[in-house]
Amino acid sequence: MTFKEITNKILKGDFSGLFGFNRGKNHIEHSEIAKVLTTIPAETAMQAFQSFPIKNQIKIFPYLDLLTQKKIIRHLGKGRAGYILNELSSDDRLTFFFFTE
């Protein structure tokens, strides 16, 4: 799937085809999803991010730019935000806290 196809699916609210991480020729890297999320309107990006299963949110989150990470964490409930941050690698968590303060 190309960057444009991924973007179009997200903008249409069709997230179903994006859940097939690690499945053959339709394999989509977490970094590719993050790149798309940083190029679309913030509200759409947050809706898309929240539509992913938590395990994929955790894998996508480190690839987002810090501004998008900050917006997402503020938008999520404390429980979910805390869970995502606690599941990140210590380096990714440190980067988030150091550069978003």
What digits encode the pLDDT tens for the residues 13-36? Answer: 776 666 554 455 556 788 888 998
CATH, domain range 3-100: 1.10.220
CA distance 47 to 42: 9
pTM score, whole prediction: 0.79
Alpha helices in the chain (DSSP H): 3-11, 30-37, 42-51, 54-60, 66-75, 78-87, 90-100
Q: Tell me what the mean pLDDT of segment 4-10 comes to.
A: 80
Query: Do residues 57 and 84 make contact, with C-beta atoms less than 8 angstroms apart?
Result: yes
pLDDT class for 48, splitting at 50, 70, 90? confident
Task: Say how many C-beta atoms besides its own lie within 10 A of residue 15's C-beta.
Answer: 16
- Can you give the pLDDT at residue 22? 47
What digits encode the pLDDT tens for the residues 56-96? Answer: 899 999 999 998 999 999 999 899 999 999 999 999 999 88
Give residue limits of the domains in the chain: 3-100
Q: Tell me what the mean pLDDT of segment 7-11 comes to.
A: 80
Q: Tell me what the mean pLDDT of segment 1-12 comes to.
A: 78
Lowest model confidence (mean pLDDT) among 22-26, 45-49, 50-54, 61-65: 22-26
CA distance 33 to 47: 13
